[in-house]
């Protein structure tokens, strides 16, 4: 079978998670098999799986868009169950579908009316910089968009893409599968996970020396797993670097709504490029998703990508690739529409919708602080604050004996530690090795998505397990 597929690793659903799933099964038949009653999944940015409630209004609109008119928007009893602004919004979305409804394949870039709404959202977000709906592709989450662009970049084993270390493993996994080279550039943990231009140039130079044709550059902002939020000038430096070396910039901006640090703001790469006078002068793709932010609608598989500066012929090839998968799911397209355009001030659902969003955001913000402070209070842990995103990536001082034991078992100490944590506490994290890190560093990634009470307990469990672990390997 395909050797590239065998070589691919995807830690977010890797060995630790598979063990967690089998513990869940054991607990069903033998509830006292472990010192806990259930697994606390902090391995993945999957908010609804750990207690976050869906926003009401988008689900109401979505239900009405799916219902045939006579039993939905045109039913005389519709107002008994649905607010008026949900009915209106559903009618608007249905009008975009030209009578076909949600059961038809759409244009392979996505429904035109929805792309126009996304374009308006981007223009507003970036202070008026123009966005052309023809440059937007609606995608199944960000994943399919990332897959399309990496597919376009990799022609053979000597092609490579620069990715941050640590990085989100969809990049390393996709590159392994495509048979391309992963060219890592290190983020500096001691400088809030920033990347210096010197490091970018060093990494590129080394790759070139090794015969790699570097085609593209991945920037994740806000960072995953690292949580930093970049300044306009930091982004501009990356843009100039990409332009100078003719690299396609993949701007992973799926956490753009998840900024908690009051001194930080999300600046899009598009805005930074415009301010630097570079927009359209180099190739850039920005990804967004309904799975993160405040919506957390992962199961819906909605999202979009925006292309700027592409050669029309290359863009046509990317369209062809999208069309070979026919179209992204319509429910995901509808959710994308509702993410970029909620109820207007004065609409009957406006206040409740904004309140629901604020409640989720404020709680995420409290958890970001509470968990990073909790982890930092553990002897031997060092953890940068989550300025944004949904993750913390603590560095853990591992006892030498544990490192030796991991070696003996043919694994790394991160995995040994994460499995030990899982079996002692039920907390399921991802070993840091799955994201990449500087040699000699160790740790894990955890979300702070479980609800506040549970997350508080988790912090206590992190602490008590670490003491046990040190005791065991002292």
d(CA 106, CA 125): 26
320: CB partners within 8 A, 6+ apart: none
Residues 53 to 82: which contact a second copy by CB under 8 A? Answer: 53-54, 56, 59-60, 62-64, 66-68, 71-72, 75, 77-78, 80-81
| Given 19, 151, 194, 468, the residue binding a second copy (CB under 8 A) | 151
Q: How far is the CB of 100 from a second copy (least distance, A)?
A: 5
Q: What's the per-residue H, E or C state across 145-198?
A: HHHHHHHHHCCCCCEEEEEEECCCCHHHHHHHHHCCEEEEEECEHHHCCECCHH
- Closer residue to a second copy, CB minimum distance, 296 or 374: 296
Binding residue count for a second copy, defined by CB under 8 A: 78
Residues 85 to 114: which contact a second copy by CB under 8 A? Answer: 100-108
| Given 154, 267, 378, 422, the residue binding a second copy (CB under 8 A) | 154
Between the alpha carbon of residue 39 and those of residues 24, 137, 291, the distances in Å are 7, 37, 22
Tokens standing for 79?
């107002």
Is residue 152 a contact point for a second copy (CB under 8 A)? yes
Is residue 173 a contact point for a second copy (CB under 8 A)? yes
Site string for a second copy, 330-349 (x = CB under 8 A): xxx-----------------
Tally of CB atoms within 10 A around 375: 23
- Closer residue to a second copy, CB minimum distance, 99 or 128: 99
**String of b and e for 166-183 (b: at least 16 CB within 10 Å)?**
bbbbbbbbbbbbbbbbbb
Between the alpha carbon of residue 466 and those of residues 314, 376, 409, 463, 472, the distances in Å are 51, 12, 20, 5, 10
- Closer residue to a second copy, CB minimum distance, 85 or 297: 297
Is residue 19 a contact point for a second copy (CB under 8 A)? no
**In 210-349, which ranges are continuous DSSP H helix?**
232-244, 269-275, 312-324, 330-340
Q: Which stretch binds a second copy (CB under 8 A): 191-199, 312-320, 359-367, 413-421?
A: 312-320
- Closer residue to a second copy, CB minimum distance, 234 or 335: 335
Q: How far is the CB of 385 from a second copy (least distance, A)?
A: 26
Q: How far is the CB of 435 from a second copy (least distance, A)?
A: 15
List, in sequence order, every residue forming a beta bridge with 165; answer none if it has no partner.
186
Q: How far is the CB of 401 from a second copy (least distance, A)?
A: 32
d(CA 366, CA 386): 11
Is residue 43 a contact point for a second copy (CB under 8 A)? no
Q: How far is the CB of 326 from a second copy (least distance, A)?
A: 7
- Closer residue to a second copy, CB minimum distance, 46 or 286: 46
Q: How far is the CB of 26 from a second copy (least distance, A)?
A: 16
Residues 213 to 272: which contact a second copy by CB under 8 A? Answer: none
45: CB partners within 8 A, 6+ apart: 224, 291, 292, 298, 390, 391, 447, 449
The four Cα atoms 311, 315, 320, 323 give a dihedral, to 10 degrees, of -170
Is residue 22 a contact point for a second copy (CB under 8 A)? no
| Given 261, 297, 306, 387, the residue binding a second copy (CB under 8 A) | 297
Residues 109 to 138: which contact a second copy by CB under 8 A? Answer: none
Residues 314 to 333: which contact a second copy by CB under 8 A? Answer: 314, 317, 320-321, 323-332
């Amino acid at each position: 079978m395909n050797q590239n597929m065998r070589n691919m690793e995807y830690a977010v659903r890797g060995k630790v998670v598979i063990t967690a799933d089998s513990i869940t099964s054991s607990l069903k038949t033998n509830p006292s098999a472990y010192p806990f009653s259930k697994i606390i999944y902090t391995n993945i940015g999957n908010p609804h799986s750990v207690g976050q409630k869906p926003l009401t209004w988008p689900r109401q609109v979505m239900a009405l868009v799916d219902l045939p008119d006579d039993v939905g928007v045109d039913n005389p009893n519709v107002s008994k169950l649905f607010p008026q602004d949900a009915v209106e919004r559903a009618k608007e979305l249905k009008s975009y579908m030209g009578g076909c409804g949600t059961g038809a394949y759409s244009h392979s870039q996505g429904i035109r009316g929805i792309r126009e709404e996304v374009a308006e959202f981007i223009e507003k977000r970036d202070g008026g910089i123009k966005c052309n709906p023809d440059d937007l592709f609606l995608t199944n989450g960000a994943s399919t968009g990332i897959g399309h662009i990496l597919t376009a970049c990799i022609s053979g084993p000597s092609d490579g893409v620069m990715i941050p270390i640590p990085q989100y493993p969809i990049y390393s996994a996709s590159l392994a599968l495509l048979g391309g080279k992963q060219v890592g550039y290190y983020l500096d943990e001691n400088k809030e996970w920033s990347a210096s231009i010197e490091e970018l140039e060093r990494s590129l130079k080394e790759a070139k020396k090794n015969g790699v044709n570097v085609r593209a550059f991945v920037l994740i902002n806000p960072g995953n797993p690292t949580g930093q939020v970049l300044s306009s000038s930091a982004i501009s430096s990356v843009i100039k670097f990409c332009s100078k070396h003719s690299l396609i910039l993949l701007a992973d901006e799926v956490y753009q709504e998840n900024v908690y640090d009051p001194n930080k703001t999300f600046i899009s790469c598009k805005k930074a490029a415009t301010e630097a006078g570079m927009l359209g002068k180099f190739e850039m793709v920005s990804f967004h998703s309904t799975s993160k932010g405040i919506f957390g609608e992962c199961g819906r598989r909605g999202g979009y990508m925006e292309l700027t500066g592409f050669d029309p012929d290359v863009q046509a090839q990317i369209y062809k690739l999208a069309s070979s998968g026919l179209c992204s799911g319509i429910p995901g397209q509808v959710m994308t529409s509702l993410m970029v355009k909620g109820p207007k001030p004065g609409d009957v659902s406006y206040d409740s919708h904004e309140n629901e969003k604020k409640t989720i955001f404020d709680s995420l913000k409290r958890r970001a602080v509470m968990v990073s402070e909790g982890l930092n209070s553990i002897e031997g842990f060092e953890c940068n604050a989550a300025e944004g995103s949904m993750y913390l990536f603590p560095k853990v001082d591992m006892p030498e004996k544990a490192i030796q034991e991991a070696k003996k078992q043919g694994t790394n100490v991160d995995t040994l530690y994460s499995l030990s944590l899982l079996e002692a506490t039920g907390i399921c994290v991802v070993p840091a090795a799955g994201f990449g890190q500087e040699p000699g560093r160790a740790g894990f990634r955890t979300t702070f998505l479980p609800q506040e009470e549970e997350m508080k307990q988790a912090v206590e469990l992190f602490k008590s397990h670490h003491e046990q672990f040190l005791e065991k390997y002292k």
